[in-house]
Structure 1
């Protein structure tokens, strides 16, 4: 999905709401518009707030950046990883590739030119969409 596709979701909600209600205002307009706004927020670059930049993470001591997760909003694989890690995921450094072009370039460089996420760097070695158990093992004290 294009990184700015989130802008069109509310418009889709209005069009679908109009079609469902025969272009008369009804509760369907409101419900469908609100659902589309929710989807728009979920896939927007700001859905989880501002994350760290790649340069911020690289400035940390080596021990604090053993696990770096490159992610983007709206990615179901990123959400799966975040959910599987639970509280342990807070020990990883999360970098949103939509908020940091340097991070997006790095992810593309290790994934054959594609911005495939989640890309997780564990002790300097990149892993594309790894099994959450691998990441949990790396985060273990």
Structure 2
């Protein structure tokens, strides 16, 4: 996509459409960066993330260049203590974990308590997070009335 965008930008520049050429080149470079495996992003080692695994916390295994991972990251912004982001390209244990759950095609892989979602969309993530928080509230309330 980056090379195609840059090629069209060169053609636009040759024909004298400089503004469009510069905008398209900038967009092509931005998309190249966003989808690059070299792009940094939020990351916590999988072992550390699994230590805090519970119903109130989500663990998201992601990879740079994965479109669904990028969508989820764009929708869930900012530093949040209730979400651990694990980059599978930076952590061999996370890569093995992802492989055992369907490989790169399963990303983003979302874990909330005992729930595991493959190729999670933003809606699925939010629903699993809400269900996990509800389970945690029910566990905290404990049995009622001699149940």
TM-score, length of structure 1 as denominator length: 0.66
Cα shift readout 1:8-61 (whole Å, capped 9, x = no counterpart): 72x433311122344668233311110011112222345553411213324x34
State the aligned residue count: 131
Could you tell me how far 1:70 is from its partner in structure 2?
Answer: 0.8
TM-fit CA distance, 1:114: 4.4
The answer (yes or no) to whether the contact 1:17–1:29 under 8 Å persists in 2 is yes
Equivalent residue, structure 1, for 2:10: 18
Q: Where in structure 2 are the equivalents of 1:122-133 lying within 5 Å? A: 122-130=112-120, 131-132=124-125, 133=127
Post-superposition CA distance 1:50-85 (Å, at most 9, x none): 411213324x34559953111123444334545666
When residues 73 and 120 of structure 1 are mapped into structure 2, their CA distance, relative to the original with a 3 A threshold, is same
Change (3 A) 1:98 1:21: same
1:44 aligns with 2:44: no
- Whether the aligned pair in 2 keeps the contact of 1:52 and 1:93 (CA below 8 Å) is yes
CA radius of gyration, larger in? 2
The aligned residue for residue 67 of structure 1 is: 58
- Normalising by structure 2, report the TM-score: 0.64
Q: CA deviation at 1:119?
A: 0.9
Report if aligned partners of 2:61, 2:88 keep a CA contact under 8 Å in 1. Answer: yes
The DSSP-based 3-state class of the residue aligned with 2:106 is coil
Aligned partner of 1:56 in structure 2 is 48
Flag structure 2 segments of 5+ consecutive residues without an equivalent: 138-147
Structure 2 match to 1:98: 89
RMSD across aligned positions (CA): 3.4
